[in-house]
A and B are shown apart, each in its own frame.
Chain A
Amino acid sequence: MTDGPASSQRPSSAAPRVAFPPSWPTRITGIAVALYVAYACSILDINRERLVAGFAHGARFVSRMFPPNFAPDKLELLYDGMLESLQIAIIATAFGVLLSFPLGLAAARNLSPLPLAWAARALIVLFRTFHPVIVAILFVKAVGFGALAGVLALIVASLGFLSKLIAEAAEEMSMHQVEAVRATGAPFLSLVIMGVLPQVMARFIGFSAYQLDSNLRNSALVGLVGGGGIGATLFTAFQRFDYDFVLTIVLAIIAVVMAGEIVSGWMRRLFQ
């Protein structure tokens, strides 16, 4: 260690060298952020008394959830809602996968002409701008309450995610392989099928499995704002103060999301 290049220059006894000089911009920024947080808390009426009272409310709420309600009529509601959510997730993933392929390839700058690529990119950015819940609110206004609004909202979310990843995978692929297929005189679609798909397919299946998992979680969310499925059931239970049923629903969602994660992980391993 003592033979490092730095030791060739002996430290002079006059001025001790400083390894980490103070950074005043960092300190000033830190102090400013702390001051602003304190100010914002006072404006928004966030204080200790309200927190303490809130915890008490929370404790009462949680205690009213026990024991979870497993009455047959409730279970039937739960089953119907959950089935609808699963269907929403699967339909949205299927359409998302189908539509994201052309959109993603159109956005890949090494495959499509630049104006088209930028237009496709702009569309993808638009799809990714808003959280699925906000998109769901828009679709509920447009097509009314129910599963259709939820499906449409999740298709938009899937398109944003999958198209972007497809475009990135396509831009990273080997153009040597594409060039060779192009040199055979292949029409564009055959070029995609034999030159592009083999290179991006394994990753795309992984993304799709992840998106199914993600849509399963989000299908509960879009239901809260009128998009149908288990989210709608949950929202109704809240409004009717059926907190014991709320717990049943929450447990069921956790179980389904965990099962979904296992299935999607297994799918990704299968196609690696």
Chain B
Amino acid sequence: MDASIPFRPAAAELDRALVIRNLRKEYRAGQPVLKDVSLTVEARGMTAIIGPSGTGKSTLIRCINRLVDPTSGEIIFRGQDLARLRGRELRIARRRMGMVFQEYNLVERLSVIENVLCGRLGYVPVWRAWLRRFPAQDIDRAFHLLDAVGLGELATHRADQLSGGQRQRVGIARALMQEPDLLLADEPTSSLDPKTSIEIMELIARRAGERDIPVIVNIHNVELARRFADRIVGMSRGEIVFDGPPRALEDARLLQIYGGEGWLE
């Protein structure tokens, strides 16, 4: 960086931000799901992306950790264009991004602690995974994280024995186990009942907040978005149609995002 430029906190913030420029994704040529989306997410707090199903929220979030390959555009994070990364570089970038899934996506036949330790696979050599010889500090951290999500007692249970809410807690612990610089959550509450949904959102907000990890969450529940997010991005048909703090999200704006009227009453 040029030393003549005076240090400004905002500039440093921007260096750690996620900058998406003209991101486009076409699963079938000529039918873009994301239409040249540009978005800058600062490295703090929770950003909620809301919008109707099939509007490209999930594609957007999956382009960031490249579970989906974008058709064109840039995703700049920590000085790298994530959209261009391949092979080893991509894996190293991925291990610094935790992800929480709608269907929890735990490995059903592994134990809870094994699922949490999956968060270290980007860091440990293959033979350690094969023999389950994870470093002692990783195992300690896994137990601490399980305590932090309230599942310390279930460490050795198989993942398929847990309830939905418990599974999502394991999913959160797995993502935090990666020591991420960014936490992505793709509809983390859509498969859960209302009470558990709030508990899960509280857990994500608290555990990410105390570690100062920025969170990007896809969520179609507007109330949850308003309650937990610092910033709301509204998407409709592959484009961003709203971007602002929760209090700016008026009914008129919701109408614009979701279309129709009857459901607002």
Which residues does A use to contact B, with CB under 8 Å?
A: 174, 176-177, 179-187, 189-191, 193-195, 198-199, 201-202
Contacts and interface: CB of A to CB of B under 8 A. Distances in A.
Contacts, number: 86
A174 B108 CA distance: 10
Interface residues of B, number: 32
B103 interface: yes
Given A184-B98, A185-B121, A199-B107, 20 more contacts: A176-B103, A177-B107, A179-B67, A180-B106, A183-B65, A183-B67, A183-B97, A184-B94, A184-B174, A185-B97, A186-B91, A187-B121, A193-B129, A194-B107, A194-B110, A194-B118, A194-B121, A198-B107, A199-B109, A202-B109
B57 to A, nearest CB: 17
Contact of A180 (B96, B99, B109): B99
Interface in B101-140: 101, 103, 105-110, 114, 118-122, 124, 126, 129-130
B95 interface: yes
A98 to B, nearest CB: 14
From A177, A180, A187, A190, name the one whose CB has the most chain B CB atoms within 10 angstroms: A180
Interface of B: 65, 67, 91-99, 101, 103, 105-110, 114, 118-122, 124, 126, 129-130, 171, 174, 178
B186 to A, nearest CB: 10
Contact of B121 (A177, A191, A201): A191
Contacts of A195: 107, 118
A194 B114 contact: yes
A191 B126 CA distance: 9
A184 B129 contact: no
10 contacts: A176-B105, A181-B121, A184-B119, A184-B122, A184-B174, A186-B91, A186-B129, A187-B91, A189-B129, A194-B121
Nearest to A191: B121
Nearest to B126: A189
Contacts of B96: 185
A194 B95 CA distance: 15
A194 to B, nearest CB: 5
A259 to B, nearest CB: 31
B118 A184 contact: yes
A185 B94 contact: yes
A68 B11 CA distance: 94
The 6 closest A-B pairs by CB, nearest first: A185-B122, A185-B95, A186-B121, A180-B105, A185-B94, A198-B109
A190 B129 CA distance: 6
Given A191-B121, A193-B129, A193-B130, A184 B95 contact: yes
Given A179-B67, A193-B129, A194-B129, A185 B91 contact: yes
Nearest to A174: B108
A208 B129 CA distance: 24
